[in-house]
């Protein structure tokens, strides 16, 4: 096959991105077309019956939805003000340590990540109310609206990220004079900007949501025996706001960072010295074509899976799983077509140490990552869904006590690490054998190539969770809440699957970025027997624990303040006549203030540790920091996220069995509360720790090299005469 022209490649990258934005706009239009018209006769229990809708349900639904939307937007505005200052300050540091082009790319990545988070928040807070409203009619309609809303985020985030990155490459290539490795090392700033915003978005949003969630559960469910979203609980609005700021804006920025970083890593490694594709525009753009083909794959998947009728609640989980399966199957031949179209037919190599490989050889790392991602998703579902034994066994243990349920839940989380780690290790081994670190970067892109659908089902989770809260706070009948509960339970599993994808891809991305760092910092070998490297390994393995401690402690502090506020308000709400109205705004302020303050320390730990390590330990010690941190973080992230997800669905399982108010249910609530910061704050944020540490080291690689001796130790020690 003849090599394509540059214009053909440019169109192949840009057109799918534009199409993705168009289709996401259509999906947004479908959500907006849903009108809040209220109860239709025959769709719910008649007004005035034993299980009737509240007479003011429609007005209450719109009011609650607006409270959630306003709270989410006020948090984002407050957070983005702080991140705006950070972006400007850190961009100056990047300009000093690297180049002004790298600093520009950093700012563009930060702004793009911020915009994507804002866009996701807007659609989620519009879709949640309309999902609740459509569940008033049927399961099929409620499910459809939640998927439409999720697909807006999935398609638009990837499309915008792809188009901005491609545009940045073209601008730098044509107007800065940068070429080859220098060009793509500057472009790496784009991934750094996206990941930096993701860290603060994930940590800040995670602290916000879990402060409210834990506070609401302890004060409402445990103390007062209330339901999940009792309208009298002053923390329930903050809880629903938190689902959006943590699992929509935070997760969106997280996966945007993974996409940007894996692409940047592939570009940097593919343009390094010894690469035969460095001057080949079509071959160089191969990583971007993988992502652009993923957008087309997502659009086709939506069309195919949209034909599946979800007319019963027990079909919801399969429908979501079907989206992952179909997208993976469709993407498999797309990878082959992209490879044989763009890569040299007579073979290529990206390093003098690697043998010449064919385009088909280059497909294998991507296929490994793609199908490993699906397998990780299935394993995550097995350990976190109440359709399977592990969660049901946790629920069985909770009949005895909360303690035994917690012990068993921890064991489930640890067990859930085994298969994903083998998947990641297998992908790394095969990819590295074929194409070295470039193959590892392609493996990460393969795992992320279906990110449009991964984000769709991930955003579906908080949308359906909010829909359940809105239905309960609006006084809709039990028949409606059974539908929203089923959507929410499936959403808990999809959220866990999304975290599994994010963690698995983060491990591959961070390893690929590590490879790019060794090129930039001129680290020839990473020897565990080198004292500086070994010291770095130990410190790096400790950093995820320090990060986890800081974030979980922050949740505890904020949740304590929330519980005290709720208990104070309950005196007037429950024990005065006439009862006082709950002050939702006060709880929103507590979560907002706590999250914005508490996110600073863990953020600085991650941002500064590679730079400080570079100066104190040299480039070999920094290499140790990166490897130690990655190995430690991937185990912690998987176990914490899956343990928390399993405890959450054990509680949902108890609710499904009608055990509310029982001792088992209270024990399940305690387990869920313990797991909240693990699955929504510390666990998922650890994957950003891996990626961010690696890309900071890459961007500052030349500076770290200048701080080091030729042997890789710190230069300051040599100046002291040692």
DSSP result, 347-379: -B-SSTTSPPB-HHHHHHHHHHHHHHHHHHHHH
Residue 289 lies in a domain: yes
Please report which residue ranges of 98-179 form alpha helices under DSSP H: 100-135, 139-175
Q: How far apart are CA 427 and CA 371, in angstroms?
A: 10
CA–CA distance, 414 with 404 (Å, rounded to integer): 16
Given a contact cutoff of 8 angstroms between Cβ atoms, the answer to whether 487 and 135 are in contact is yes
**Residue 277 tokens, joined:** 């594709």
pLDDT at residue number 45: 45
* pLDDT of the residue at 180: 82
Residue 348 β-bridge partners: 357
pLDDT of residue 42: 44
Nearest residue to 264 via CA among 283, 280, 284, 294: 284
- Name the nearest CA neighbour of 143 among 471, 457, 374, 498: 457
Could you write out the DSSP letters of every residue in 175-241? Answer: HS---HHHHHHHHHHHHHHHHHHHHHHHHHHHHHHHHHHHHHIIIIIIHH---TT-TT-TTHHHHHH
Residue 567 lies in a domain: yes
Q: What is the pLDDT of residue 50?
A: 47
Asked whether 677 and 551 are in contact (CB, 8 A), the reply is yes
Residue 643 is predicted with a pLDDT of 94
Structure tokens at 333: 């031949």
Q: Specify the pLDDT at position 1.
A: 55
Q: Report yes or no on 365 lying in a domain.
A: yes
Domain membership of residue 40 (yes or no) is no
Decide: residue 132, CB within 10 A, 0-12 exposed, 13-18 middle, 19+ buried: buried
Alpha-carbon distance of 510 to 497, in angstroms, equals: 20
- Residue 619, Cβ neighbours under 10 Å: how many? 32
- The alpha carbon of 347 is separated from its chain's Cα centroid by a whole number of angstroms, namely 36
Burial (Cβ within 10 Å: 0-12, 13-18, ≥19) of residue 148 = buried
Assigned token pair, 60: 């209450």
pLDDT for the residue 486: 84
Q: Determine, yes or no, domain membership for 15.
A: no
Phi, psi of 457 (to 5 degrees): -75, -25
What's the confidence (pLDDT) of residue 296? 96
What DSSP designation does 579 have?
P
DSSP code of 714? Answer: B
What is the domain extent for residue 547?
60-715
Q: Is the pTM of this model over 0.75?
A: yes
Query: Strand, coil or helix: what is 481?
Result: helix
- DSSP, collapsed to helix, strand or coil, labels residue 138 as coil
295/452 Cα distance (integer angstroms): 6
Examine residue 19 and state whether it is found in any structural domain, yes or no.
no
Q: Is residue 363 part of a domain?
A: yes
- Segment 546-583, tens digit of pLDDT: 999 999 998 898 889 888 998 999 889 888 888 888 89
- Give Cα separations from 473 to 240, 242, 477, 585 (angstroms): 11, 16, 11, 16
Check residue 546 and give its pLDDT. 94
Q: Can you tell me the distance from the alpha carbon of 297 to that of 290, in angstroms, rounded to the nearest whole number?
A: 10
Tell me which residues of the chain have a pLDDT lower than 70: 1-3, 39-52, 719-722
* CB neighbour list of residue 91: distance below 8 Å, 6 or more residues apart: 103, 106, 107, 110
Query: Under a CB-based contact definition with an 8 Å cutoff, are residues 262 and 446 in contact?
Result: no
User: How many domains would you assign to the chain?
Assistant: 1
């Amino acid at each position: 096959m003849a090599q394509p022209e540059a214009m053909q490649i440019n169109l192949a990258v840009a057109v799918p991105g534009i199409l993705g934005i168009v289709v996401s706009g259509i999906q947004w239009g479908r959500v907006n077309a849903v009108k809040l018209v209220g109860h239709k006769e025959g769709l719910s229990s008649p007004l005035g019956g034993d299980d009737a809708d509240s007479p003011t349900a429609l007005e209450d639904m719109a009011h609650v939805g607006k409270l959630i939307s306003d709270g989410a937007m006020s948090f984002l505005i407050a957070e983005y003000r702080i991140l705006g200052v950070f972006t400007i300050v850190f961009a100056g540091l990047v300009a000093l340590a690297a180049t002004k082009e790298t600093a520009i790319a950093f700012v563009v990545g930060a702004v793009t990540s911020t915009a994507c988070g804002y866009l996701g928040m807007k659609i989620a807070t519009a879709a949640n109310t309309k999902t609740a409203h459509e569940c008033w009619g049927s399961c099929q309609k409620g499910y459809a609206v939640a998927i439409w809303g999720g697909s807006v985020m999935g398609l638009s985030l990837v499309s915008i990220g792809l188009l901005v990155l491609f545009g940045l490459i073209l601008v730098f290539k044509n107007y800065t004079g940068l070429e080859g490795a220098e060009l793509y090392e500057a472009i790496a700033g784009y991934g750094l900007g996206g990941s930096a915003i993701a860290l603060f978005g994930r940590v800040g949003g995670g602290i916000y949501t879990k402060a409210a969630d834990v506070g609401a559960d302890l004060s409402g469910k445990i103390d007062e025996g209330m339901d999940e979203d009792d309208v009298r609980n002053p923390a329930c609005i903050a809880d629903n706001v938190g689902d959006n700021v943590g699992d929509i804006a935070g997760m969106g920025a997280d996966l945007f960072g993974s996409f940007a970083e894996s692409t940047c890593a592939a570009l940097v490694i593919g343009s390094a010295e010894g690469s035969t594709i460095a001057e080949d525009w079509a071959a160089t753009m191969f990583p971007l074509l993988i992502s652009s083909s993923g957008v087309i794959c997502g659009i086709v998947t939506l069309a195919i899976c949209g034909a599946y009728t979800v007319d019963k609640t027990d079909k919801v989980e399969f429908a979501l799983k079907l989206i992952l399966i179909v997208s993976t199957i469709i993407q498999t031949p797309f990878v082959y077509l992209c490879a044989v179209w763009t890569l040299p037919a007579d073979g290529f190599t990206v390093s003098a140490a690697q043998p010449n490989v064919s385009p088909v050889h280059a497909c294998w790392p991507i296929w490994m990552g793609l199908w490993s991602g699906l397998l990780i998703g299935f394993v995550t579902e097995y350990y976190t869904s109440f359709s399977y034994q592990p969660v049901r066994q946790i629920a069985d243990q909770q009949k005895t006590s909360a303690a035994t349920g917690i012990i068993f839940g921890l064991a489930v989380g640890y067990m859930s690490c085994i298969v994903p780690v083998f998947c990641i290790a297998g992908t790394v081994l095969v990819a590295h054998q074929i194409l070295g670190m470039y193959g590892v970067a392609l493996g990460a892109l393969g795992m992320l190539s279906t990110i449009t659908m991964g984000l769709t089902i991930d955003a579906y989770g908080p949308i359906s969770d909010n829909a359940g809260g809105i239905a309960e706070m609006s006084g809709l009948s039990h028949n409606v809440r059974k539908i929203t509960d089923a959507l929410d339970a499936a959403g808990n599993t999809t959220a866990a699957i999304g975290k599994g994808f994010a963690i698995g891809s983060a491990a591959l991305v961070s390893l690929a970025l590590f490879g790019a760092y060794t090129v930039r910092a001129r680290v020839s070998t990473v020897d565990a027997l080198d004292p500086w490297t070994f010291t770095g390994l130990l410190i790096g393995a400790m950093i995820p624990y320090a990060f986890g401690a800081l974030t979980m402690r922050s949740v505890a502090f904020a949740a304590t303040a929330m519980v005290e506020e709720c208990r104070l308000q309950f005196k007037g709400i429950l024990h005065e006549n006439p009862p006082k109205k709950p002050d939702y705004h006060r709880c929103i302020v507590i979560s907002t203030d706590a999250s914005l303050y508490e996110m600073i320390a863990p953020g600085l730990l991650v941002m500064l540790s590679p730079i400080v390590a570079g100066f104190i330990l040299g480039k070999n010690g920094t290499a140790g920091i990166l490897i130690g941190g990655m190995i430690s973080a991937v185990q912690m992230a998987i176990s914490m996220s899956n343990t928390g997800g399993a405890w959450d669905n054990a509680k949902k399982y108890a609710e499904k069995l009608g055990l509310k108010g029982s001792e088992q249910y209270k024990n399940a609530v305690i387990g869920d509360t313990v797991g909240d910061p693990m699955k929504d704050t510390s666990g998922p944020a650890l994957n950003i720790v891996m990626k961010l540490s690696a890309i900071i080291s890459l961007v500052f690689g030349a500076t770290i090299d200048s701080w080091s001796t030729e042997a890789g130790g710190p230069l300051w020690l040599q100046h002291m005469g040692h």
